A and B are shown apart, each in its own frame.
Chain A
Amino acid sequence: MSTATMALGNTRIQRSPAQTLQIYLKEAKYEFLKYLRLRMYTISVLTFPIMFYILFGLVLNSKESIAGTRVPVYLIPSYGTFGVIAASLFATAAGLASDRGLGWLEVKRASPMPPFAYFTAKLFTSFVFSTIVVLALFTLGIAFGGVRMSVGQFAKLLATLVAGSLPFSAMGLALGYFTGPNSAPPMINLIYLPMSFCSGLWVPIMYLPKTVQKIALFLPPYHLSQLALGVVGAGTHESAIGHWEALAAFTMICLGVARIGFQRDQEKMYG
């Protein structure tokens, strides 16, 4: 009984591809519904970036510019990144920690559910909520902030931000494996709020102290926000490749940590 037999996606069941697809779809659908109906999640994930955008982007500073870019435009990538991170972390870490710690994941593991379906459902949910946050910001910006971009630009910005959901979902899985059901949400806040601030998601990076700007280079939200800002021509002048590489490396590290947690769980001692 080696851990290899329990590895992800190891299935010797004769399911048709259609049946397998159906499991993945249902798992994803119900995972999404679960969070959509969870007010605590939708409020913290959707409301905060939208509220911040309305307040700081539309009500207070809509006539101002940051580094030559109008504030309502500049803040879409910023708060978009912020929203994507929250959507991804809470959908993965909080859910996983709770499922693991309180026995639900064991019920699923005891069933013939393909283990990978569980994780793709979480990833899917992160993607969908990330998309919703970004589209909401677009809508508000276009309607009330005079934001004008080409369709191509909108599409590229959306794609960049939603792709950014992947590293933070990976981070969420890692966190979910090493926190408990009660400690996960405060732990997420403890990590992602300071990280967001230091990455310039609330106050533009150039207004932050030099030290913080140096720290930001090691923070994944900084790299994602710079990629997004680059789409609207407001990024700093590092290369996009460098940002992608940083995010890819971060994703790999997080997935590695999550895998350690996954394997440790196969021998978990819940009693």
Chain B
Amino acid sequence: MDGTGSRIVLRRPCQYWTADQIRRPVPVPWEELKMIATLEQAHAANSIGSDSIVASLDGVNKNYGDVPALRAVNFRVRAGEVVALLGPNGAGKTTAVKLLLGLLQPNAGKVRVFGGDPTNPENRMRTGAMLQVGRVPETLRVREHIDLFSSYYEKPLPPAEVLATAGLEKLSDRKFGELSGGQRQRLLFALAICGNPDLLFLDEPTVGFDVEARRMLWDQIRRLVGQGKTVLLTTHYLQEADALADRVAVINKGEIIAEGTPAQIKAHTSGKRIRCITSLSIDLLRGIPGVTEVKPDREAVELHTGEAEHVLRELLVRDAQLAGLEVTTAGLEDAFLALTQEKNGNGSN
């Protein structure tokens, strides 16, 4: 585990995605990737290709009163990439976004967007933001909200295109107060993109979405990236980071604890997950060399191991009736949980 020189020592994964979630392809090829697992390494990597950096946090500290929200955070968003800030609630994701939007100011460090101060009006012209909002004026209609926000920008998208992108064509005459939770989120997404911005900040964009709506929004985000836009999204949906991001920064308790492609983050969790239906007892399974964890899952069991081939051979030898076999790599959530738990100081490996 320590072969990468990382100071992050990973724990065995302990919570799993469903098989369906794990089978998704990893969107980005390995070759292009420079894994940045520690802050020290991050510093070194950041000096490369600084011309294409569109947003950055440099040694940023942000406190709310005595409570630190971000601690010595270094973070880069390069042109044309989708970066996911992944972390549990309260990790500092929203704070990072608000700093980059110039809505908050850091206690220490530097925040830059398009090479300048994030509060520059011309930066705001090139930036779109979807934030978590408690109340939007409810008596205005969808098209009215879009009309108003579009007027702020120099080259807004045509309203019809905004409505279509956000999947709101049929709801344009609806008042905001009459929309469902997911529809409201879509309007906020529409307001973020209506100015045709180069840089898009999406703070928990699919909270409250059903699976279908989530996939639809993902498609739209991919389409925008295809047009050359840069996207920073925060999420605690690991699946979302995995599905969308070129790069994932895992953030916990105000610190970025790992950075890399979804594949690289996943690579930090050693081993594979084996799911099968077997008559072998749990204790017996635990006794197989190389098995690190066993837990029953409905009619089946799930095993975790760093030596999948060996364990599989053992399993098949010991139980000729073994059925329903699935072998998958650990999902991003495994990686994420492993990383944050180690960081919390209660991990041991």
Contact = CB atoms under 8 A, between A and B. Distances in A.
Interface of A: 1, 5-6, 10-13, 15, 19, 22-23, 26-27, 30, 33-35, 37-38, 98, 101-104, 106-107, 109-113, 181, 266-271
Interface of B: 64-65, 69, 94-95, 98, 101-105, 111, 117, 119-122, 124-125, 127, 129, 131-137, 139-140, 144, 147-149, 151-154, 175, 188, 191, 195, 201
A22 B152 CA distance: 9
Contacts of A11: 121
A89 to B, nearest CB: 18
A111 B124 contact: yes
B82 to A, nearest CB: 19
B101 A22 contact: no
Given A13-B122, A33-B140, A103 B134 contact: yes
Given A11-B121, A12-B121, A112-B153, A181 B105 contact: no
Contacts of A266: 105
A110 B101 contact: yes
Contacts of B105: 1, 266-267
A117 to B, nearest CB: 9
Contact of B134 (A30, A34, A38, A101): A101
A254 to B, nearest CB: 24
Contacts of B121: 10-13, 112
Contact of B98 (A102, A104, A106): A106
B125 A104 contact: no
Contacts of B98: 106, 270
Contact of B129 (A1, A13, A107): A107
A1 B110 CA distance: 10
A110 B124 contact: yes
A106 B122 contact: no
26 contacts: A5-B119, A6-B102, A10-B121, A23-B151, A23-B152, A26-B151, A30-B140, A30-B147, A30-B148, A33-B144, A34-B139, A35-B139, A102-B134, A106-B101, A107-B129, A107-B188, A107-B191, A110-B102, A110-B124, A110-B201, A111-B191, A112-B124, A112-B125, A113-B152, A269-B65, A271-B94
B64 A269 contact: yes
A139 B178 CA distance: 36
A112 B102 CA distance: 12
Given A12-B120, A33-B139, A271-B64, A112 B152 contact: yes
B135 A30 contact: no
Contacts of A98: 135
B122 A181 contact: no
Name the residue among A30, A110, A267 with the largest chain B CB count within 10 angstroms: A110
Contacts of A10: 121
Contacts of B65: 269
A83 B189 CA distance: 38
A104 B152 contact: no
A26 B175 CA distance: 17
A188 B94 CA distance: 32
A27 B152 CA distance: 10
A110 B147 contact: no
Given A107-B191, A111-B152, A112-B121, 13 more contacts: A1-B105, A19-B154, A27-B148, A30-B147, A34-B140, A98-B135, A101-B134, A106-B103, A107-B136, A110-B124, A110-B131, A269-B65, A269-B104
B200 to A, nearest CB: 11
